[in-house]
Structure 1
């Protein structure tokens, strides 16, 4: 059970009846930046609802290389965890806290019951599926049709939108891991973007100018 006023900030998503139900059934968890919230191969027993903070969701190939699939923010849930819960499969993704995160954990049994009995919750889940599906299609288009410098700048502007801050506290290595490339390539392209007056580089930070 969690305090109902924590969920009332989502009254644009959920009606009062659903907020009351979630407050009774959900548990509150806190994660620090960098914590793994869901890991590859994990049995998923809950559906997360992000209260505060941001989460990045990644896949991994058989060589251990990670690829960023999508980002989650306040009010979002993870479509892949929904799929695993409903199909009783293990997780195919890794979810990592990009910032300190607070989330409501909804047990999968309650999620399934709500999906069958509550129209508001069912619509939220279906809309989440659609939104994440569109994001993954965009990720595929980015990989297939964009040059690496275009992918890098899109990544930076997406981070600005997500954090509502043009001053990004992020390392070249973290960007390289998210974009499935090398730190050397990222550093070279960041310097190119700086020369084009699109960004300013600092120590473990990037200021996005052309946004």
Structure 2
């Protein structure tokens, strides 16, 4: 069963022999939406490969406020987790299930072994670094160059895409946490976006019209 799920999610990336090893040595984990997968300050001993669902990666400043860096979907892994695993350092990010998620945890020693044995694994690791770096640079650009209403709209569009549904189940306070701002600001901007016809506000949910 696990091998079938791995094949479906990663057959276009990994050869069959590597998929068999992942199924043999990896540990299946299922988490509910909102559950923490990796916490800041923890030593990371396993690398997650997503089979289904989505994860949001958060950064925390010295005051304890959070900022959303990027989302992970099926077929992804987290470059910052890779870095912590290989360097055996503490995690600098928090990983939270965006929705019910199934993943397989790869032990550090196998990561190192597969990097030497499988070209597909090496390519996957390097491509993951490149993709996540590009997404973090995009986040920096968004913070530096976009107005908060533009950041908010992009956030809603990304969240709708990740969840595969234009109707997002989220509170104004949750959005404020993710975008590192206040609930009052978010509520005001959401009302502005609704007046512009780009979203429709509902109780604890938002319908994204402008996708």
Between Structure 1 and Structure 2, how many residues are aligned?
Answer: 210
Give the secondary structure class of the aligned counterpart of 1:62.
coil
Mapping of 1:32-71 within 5 angstroms? Answer: 32-71=32-71
Are the equivalent residues in 1 in contact too, given 2:26–2:107 (CA < 8 A)?
yes
Is 2:6 the partner of 1:7? Answer: yes
* Aligned counterparts of 1:94 and 1:22: Cα–Cα separation in 2: 24
2:97 maps to which residue?
Answer: 97
1:24 maps to which residue?
Answer: 24
Mapping of 1:110-129 within 5 angstroms? Answer: 110-129=110-129
* Aligned counterparts of 2:104 and 2:37: Cα–Cα separation in 1: 12
1:73 maps to which residue?
Answer: 73
Post-superposition Cα deviations, 1:75-121, rounded to whole Å, max 9, x if no partner, equal 11011110001111100000001111110000011011111211011
2:141 maps to which residue?
Answer: 141
4+ residue runs of structure 1 moved beyond 6 angstroms? Answer: none
* Aligned counterparts of 1:3 and 1:172: Cα–Cα separation in 2: 38
Give the secondary structure class of the aligned counterpart of 1:105.
strand
Specify every segment of 5 or more residues in structure 2 that has no aligned partner in the other structure, as ranges: none
* Aligned counterparts of 1:50 and 1:210: Cα–Cα separation in 2: 28
Are the equivalent residues in 1 in contact too, given 2:99–2:163 (CA < 8 A)?
no
| RMSD, aligned α-carbons | 0.9
* Aligned counterparts of 1:150 and 1:38: Cα–Cα separation in 2: 29
